[in-house]
Amino acid sequence: MNEFTSLRQQAGLTVTDAANRLGYTERQIYRFEKGTAQPRKGVIELLRTLKPHNDESKEEQPPFTFIDLFAGIGGLRRGFEAIGGKCIFTSEWDRYSQKTYRANFPDDDHEISGDITKIEAKDIPAHDVLLAGFPCQPFSIAGVSKKNALNRPHGFACDTQGTLFFDVARIIAHHRPRVFLLENVRNLVNHDSGRTFQIIRDALEKELGYHISCRIIDAKSWVPQHRERIFIAGFRDRSDFTLDTLKVSASAEGPKLATILHREDGTEKPDGHFIDGKTRKVSSKYTLSAHLWQYLQDYAAKHKEKGNGFGFGLFGPSEVARTLSARYYKDGSEILIKQKGKAPRRLTPRECARLMGFDKPDGSAFKIVVSDTQAYKQFGNAVVVPVVTAVAEHMKPFILESADAPGVMKIRASA
């Protein structure tokens, strides 16, 4: 008998109980029992603290459970944890994002699952809310332009990413969660003259029978960044919910870049390689080389002559930045920070964390455990946390009002 089995039995849990309590499938529990798979250290620690199963009813239960699909570094999750939800399943295929996710959610009692296309819906635990920021490259303006240039298909014609929406749909069809929230780029609405978005609406409303509300929300009311994303909220049961009534402040009232930039007066706190240890200012590595800065200026001038809008974005502390993209690691051209007497600089990954709402200027730091290149990609692909939190708060009364009883909602696949 291995340690997992021994601790399970001491806690008075059956295999089914353990699967439900730990967020695994029964198949995974049997693998732990046989020793063909190993649970995370946190799972063993949790089992050691569990009381016998007959005392479980006395323990506090979360108001709802949710799963985190195409999880990235956990932006959607952070918004729904903020309103009391418990994440019981995570899927993210990128190993670098998995590393960041684990570092920032170290107490999870479930593993991070990989490629969602290879995971059967029945192996995902029942849940109340489904969250999914499914890949947006096939629908984004930049993604479409790139695929057109390479003569490659995009949208639902793309075999690798465009059809990943249907993995979301098959999981919804199997588990029938009470609520879902999907997020994507604004261009999803206009892609292929609106046909792509109509396919999504038809799948959610006509095929799956959900009542949905959609809204494009600009993050500039919460963070100093012009970043528009579409949110699609769905409810299994009809309700009065609508995203249209979510209050969004006027853009002029939003924060400016000064709220997320490192201090340059020598008082910045040490923060890895982002800050020079002697000067307490941003490391010189983030300042553009003279060659790159000249190239970007020449490139912008050339396209300006042709009447194109391509070029770098140069910003000061009192301004609001363009959209941070996953390509930021290449040259940082979309968001360059002005510097007196020298070339501009890129944002540091720490500033990107703040710009996306993962981090706060007061030092409450999101853990960045990957290279700058990977960090830029991760934040560029992420959702803005304060926006998600605002959406989650707006949805909360409707998520909770239809609960069958206090505690976790009772969801059945056959519902």
Considering 18-32, 125-139, 207-221, the range whose residues carry the highest mean pLDDT is 207-221
The pLDDT confidence band at residue 255, using thresholds 50, 70 and 90, is very high
pLDDT of residue 154 exceeding 70, the answer is no
pLDDT given at position 73: 98
pLDDT given at position 363: 61
Distance CA 267, CA 280 (A): 6
Mean pLDDT of the chain: 86
The tens digit of pLDDT for each residue in 1-27 reads: 788 888 888 888 887 788 877 878 878
What does the DSSP assignment read for 325-364?
Answer: -TTHHHH-TTSEE--TTS--BPPPHHHHHHHTTSS-TTS-
The pLDDT confidence band at residue 375, using thresholds 50, 70 and 90, is very high
CB 157 within 8 A of CB 108: no
Single-letter code of the amino acid located at 402: S
pLDDT given at position 406: 38
pLDDT given at position 315: 97
Across-strand partners of 112? 90
Q: Where do you find CATH 3.40.50.150 in the chain?
A: 65-249+386-401
Question: Can you tell me which residue has the tokens 């000067």?
Answer: 279
Q: What is the mean pLDDT of residues 162-172?
A: 84
Distance CA 254, CA 225 (A): 9
Active site residues: 136
What SS3 class is residue 223? coil
**Of the given ranges (43-52, 239-248, 372-381), which has the lowest mean pLDDT?**
43-52
Q: Where do you find CATH 3.90.120.10 in the chain?
A: 257-381
pLDDT of residue 157 exceeding 80, the answer is no
pLDDT given at position 149: 58
The tens digit of pLDDT for each residue in 258-298 reads: 999 999 999 998 999 999 999 999 999 999 999 999 999 99
Determine the topology of domain 3-58 in CATH: 434 Repressor (Amino-terminal Domain) (1.10.260)
Domain 65-249+386-401 has CATH 3.40.190.10: no
The tens digit of pLDDT for each residue in 270-280 reads: 999 999 999 99
pLDDT given at position 148: 57
pLDDT of residue 192 exceeding 60, the answer is yes
CB 230 within 8 A of CB 189: yes
The tens digit of pLDDT for each residue in 51-74 reads: 664 544 445 789 999 999 999 999
Determine the topology of domain 257-381 in CATH: DNA Methylase; Chain A, domain 2 (3.90.120)
pLDDT of residue 89 exceeding 70, the answer is yes
CB 264 within 8 A of CB 317: no
The pLDDT confidence band at residue 360, using thresholds 50, 70 and 90, is low
Q: What is the mean pLDDT of residues 23-41?
A: 83
Q: What is the mean pLDDT of residues 373-389?
A: 97
Question: Can you tell me which residue has the tokens 């003279």?
Answer: 290
Q: What is the mean pLDDT of residues 40-50?
A: 80
CB 234 within 8 A of CB 165: no
The pLDDT confidence band at residue 178, using thresholds 50, 70 and 90, is very high
Which backbone phi and psi does 328 adopt, to 5 degrees?
-55, -30
Share of the chain above pLDDT 70, in %: 86
pLDDT given at position 197: 87
pLDDT given at position 12: 80
pLDDT given at position 415: 33
Dihedral sign for Cα 19, 25, 28, 34, please.
positive
pLDDT given at position 323: 96
As given in the structure block, the two tokens for residue 376 are 């830029």
The pLDDT confidence band at residue 324, using thresholds 50, 70 and 90, is very high
pLDDT of residue 47 exceeding 70, the answer is yes
Single-letter code of the amino acid located at 189: V
- Of residues 28 and 280, the one with the higher pLDDT is 280
pLDDT of residue 399 exceeding 90, the answer is yes
pLDDT of residue 404 exceeding 80, the answer is no
Q: Where do you find CATH 1.10.260 in the chain?
A: 3-58
pLDDT given at position 52: 63
Q: What is the mean pLDDT of residues 183-193?
A: 85
